[in-house]
Amino acid sequence: MASPWIDLHSHSTASDGTLTPTQVVELAVRNNLSALALTDHDTIAGVAEAAGAAKKAGVDFIPGIEISAEFPAPGTLHILGYGVSSDSPVLHEMTAKLIEGRNNRNPRMVAKLNELGVAVTMEEWEAESKGDVLGRPQLAAILVRKGYVSSIKDAFNKYLAQGAPAYFDKERLAPAKAFEMIRRSGGLPVLAHPAQLRTENDAQLDRIVKDLLDLGLAGIEVFHSDHDDAWIAKSTALAKRYSLLQTGGSDFHGSNKKDIDLGTARGKRIPRELYDKLAAAIAAQSQPSKARV
């Protein structure tokens, strides 16, 4: 019988994780997971490799992506796109634009670090990344290795977090555009880790979810490493209220987030049922004859 546990939120070396797509799948097997989604930031460059490894290993697989959309500070709005098609020109256009946004931001962060007396170069950051998506956790890992900070967390607190001295924002997609691009790529848009919206109260959270519904929201991430019991309850209630899919994942990044293991979100395992429902919804919307009326 298939293991009752899964993980629908993971990052590989295609973005800012430290395990290759194949190694993420191998860890899924070791951690007794029966299904996995790879959701790298701004790219699907890892999904073909992960899909191949998952097939060999007998792990069910969903191709995914995670996109950071425009949202007022101090919150962040991340959208997961599940079931996106790797041969979609729309998707390639979108990822190219997002990576360009990073490439405009990253040298500014490095220049600011240099100004602050931290010797680091774009070449080092590029060498730290195995793919085209250069993210802050890789830069943080370099600062740890060079002894400027004691941990990745320390690197964010001192330099890289939103509001810290070497932080610069990157150009993002408006939420409507991100949703449209995911839908046009054959994917289902899901609100990632609603806790990170940093909403002030439940009414504000409800309003945001309603706005996203108008844009085509299909689901809400319920289990996540940032979600305590209260956030799990809130997210579940929202999903039920608006008939949305419930998803869950660890947000695994390998050693770039040392305290997160694949398949576990704040000490909780993620039930297989969430994969089954998501996979069914992806299948239903990719078959026009069975499309929702």
Binding site for Fe ion (CB under 5 A): 66, 78, 192, 251
Q: Any bridge partners for residue 65, and if so which?
A: 81
Binding residues for Zn ion, total number by CB under 5 A: 2
Q: Which of residues 55-74 bind Zn ion (CB under 5 A)?
A: none
Minimum separation from the CB atom of position 111 to Zn ion (A): 22
What is the DSSP-derived secondary structure letter of residue 252? B
Determine contact, residues 5/270, Cβ cutoff 8 Å.
yes
Q: Which stretch binds Zn ion (CB under 5 A): 6-14, 76-84, 104-112, 203-211?
A: 6-14
Nearer to Fe ion, 60 or 66 (CB): 66
Q: Three-state SS string across 128-188, please?
A: HCCCCCCCHHHHHHHHHHCCCCCCHHHHHHHHHCCCCCCCCCCCCECHHHHHHHHHHCCCE
Taking CB under 5 A as the binding criterion, the range among 10-18, 23-31, 82-90, 278-286 that sits at the site for Zn ion is 10-18
User: Residue 199 burial by CB count (10 A; 0-12/13-18/19+): exposed, middle or buried?
Assistant: middle
Which CB sits closer to ligand AMP, 192 or 282?
192
Question: In this complex, which beta carbon is closest to ligand AMP, that of residue 27 or of residue 141?
Answer: 141
Compute the 3-state secondary structure of the chain and give helix, strand, coil in percent, each to the nearest 5.
45, 15, 40
Q: Minimum Å distance from CB 165 to ligand AMP?
A: 13
d(Cα 216, Cα 79) in Å, to the nearest integer?
Answer: 12
SS3 of residue 3 by DSSP: coil
Q: How far is the CB of 250 from ligand AMP (least distance, A)?
A: 12
Q: Which residues bind ligand AMP (CB under 6 A)?
A: 16, 41, 135-137, 153, 156, 161, 253
Judged by CB under 5 A, does residue 16 bind Zn ion? yes
Cα atoms in the 13 Å half-sphere on the side-chain side of 227 = 27
CB of 71 to ligand AMP, least distance (A): 13
Piece in contact with Zn ion (CB under 5 A), picked from 16-24, 67-75, 162-170, 264-272: 16-24
Element holding 78 (H helix, E strand):
strand 77-82
Q: How far is the CB of 256 from ligand AMP (least distance, A)?
A: 7
Nearer to ligand AMP, 166 or 188 (CB): 166
- The residues of the shown chain that bind Zn ion, judged by CB under 5 A, are 11, 16
